[in-house]
Amino acid sequence: MKIAFFDVKDYEIPYFEHYGKEGQVDFCYYKTTLREETARLAEGFDGVCVFVNDRLDRAVLSRLYEGGVSVAALRCAGYNTVDLAAAKGRVRILHVPGYSPHAVAEHTMGMLLTSIRRIHKAYNRTRDFNFSLSGLVGFDLKGKTVGIVGMGRIGSAFAAICKGFGMRVLAYDQQPKTMEGVTYCTLEELFAESDVLSFHCPLNDRTHHMLNADNLSLLKKGVMILNTSRGGLIDSAALLEGIKERRIGGACLDVYEEEEGLFFEDNSGHILEDDVLARLISMPNVLVTSHQAFLTKEALDAIAKTTVSNIISIYEKDSCENELVFEG
């Protein structure tokens, strides 16, 4: 099986090479992202392997199908860049639904602690031998209320961590699952009562801009906003306004709705044209990381193992438990 691997990063290759050799899957690595203009690179391959910023829209899927590609294996859980309707009957779509929920949940808590205890600021100061504590006052998490939007594997893992810190846990999910110590409520109640608001749901038409200019007024004053899921869940311009108006106390963002072409790349020598992102990064109470919440050895191993297993299952059994099917 020959698979065209798009948007490859050096840290991924050893894991995919290991499982690829075991399963007799041959990867050809491309650093470019998958777009309509790059889809020709997949001609003659059995399938493609793609990541969060690769496109699988109608035009790309048509190009892939015409070039003989029958499988697209996502090495991630989210599939908001995939047109499942256009893929139906042409290209089979596979994904990795649960590679390491703990990796993302732990990074979320790490960002929160770093921000509220000003750890990043203290680190920069002490490197200049500045040991002043001025401006480093934080607050305890114990006794605070955390609101979690989306109680899937990652949201549940984050809830467990928050309970360990002695936090009151509220949650909103369209399909709630019972978890001890977690109270479900409406989205409006969640916004109004949360000292910390964390997003862990998939991005789709229903969840796009869940936090926006219209519901910003519902937020508890001084709330911390966390997003390690998908950037499009939050209206970035509205978030910026909420911070400027002092309604939002701070934000920890591992994702951004216009991150394509920026995140995963070194842009240090370029002028950042996205004014909203530039302003957010400049804020003293905003912490941004480059979509790295998933990036642990355990997660990379699990992603590679599951992705290769998905591909093998499709070709050997003509079925895969992680196949995405359009339901419309």
- Extents of the domains making up the chain: 2-99+296-324, 101-288
Q: What is the fold, at CATH topology level, of the domain defined by 101-288?
A: Rossmann fold (3.40.50)
State the alpha helices, DSSP H only, in the chain: 13-23, 58-66, 84-87, 101-116, 119-126, 153-164, 187-193, 236-244, 275-282, 297-317
pLDDT of residue 190: 98
pLDDT of 131: 98
Mean pLDDT taken over the chain: 96
pLDDT digits (tens, 9 = 90+) for 205-234: 999 999 999 999 999 999 999 999 999 999
What distance lies between CA 186 and its chain's CA centroid?
23
Q: Using the 8-state DSSP alphabet, how is residue 50 labeled?
A: E
Confidence band, pLDDT 50/70/90 cuts, at residue 260: confident
- Which of 259, 260, 265, 270 is an active site residue? 259
Residue in 63, 75, 92, 291 annotated catalytic: 291
Catalytic: 118? no
Instruction: Tell me whether residue 230 is one of the annotated catalytic residues.
Output: yes
- Give burial (CB, 10 Å; 0-12/13-18/19+) of 317: exposed
Of 49, 230, 262, nearest in space to 149 by CA: 230
Please report which confidence band the pLDDT of residue 138 belongs to, taking 50, 70 and 90 as the band edges: very high
- Give the pLDDT score at 261: 84
100 pLDDT more than 90 = no
User: pTM for the complete prediction?
Assistant: 0.91
The residue type of 182 is V
CA distance 302 to 309: 10
Catalytic residue among 40, 230, 273, 298: 230
Closest CA to 165 of 104, 100, 109, 103: 109
Q: Which residues, in sequence order, are CB contacts of 181 under 8 Å at separation 6+?
A: 159, 163, 169
Mean pLDDT of 241-263: 95
For the chain, give the percent of residues with pLDDT over 90.
95
pLDDT for the residue 98: 82
Q: Half-sphere exposure of residue 175, counting CA atoms within 13 Å on the CB side?
A: 4
Sheet with 323-324: list strands edge to edge: 26-29, 2-5, 47-50, 71-74, 92-94, 323-324
35 is catalytic: no
Residue 328 reports pLDDT greater than 80: no
Tokens of 197: 């608001």
What is the rounded distance in angstroms from the CA atom of residue 317 to the CA atom of residue 94? 14
Give domain 2-99+296-324's CATH architecture: 3-Layer(aba) Sandwich (3.40)
Query: Using one digit for the tens of pLDDT, what is the confidence trace for 104-123?
Result: 999 999 999 999 999 999 99
Region 188-210 average pLDDT: 96
Residue type, 193: E
Tell the residue number behind the tokens 């009957």, with chain if given. Answer: 89
The type of residue at 305 is K
**First-to-last C-alpha distance (Å) of the chain:** 31
- Are domains 2-99+296-324 and 101-288 of this chain identical in fold? yes
Instruction: Output the six-digit token pair for 1.
Output: 């099986």
> What is the per-residue burial (b if ≥16 Cβ within 10 Å, else e) of 291-311?
bebbbbeebbbbbbbbbbbbb
Token pair of 156 as six digits: 């549940």
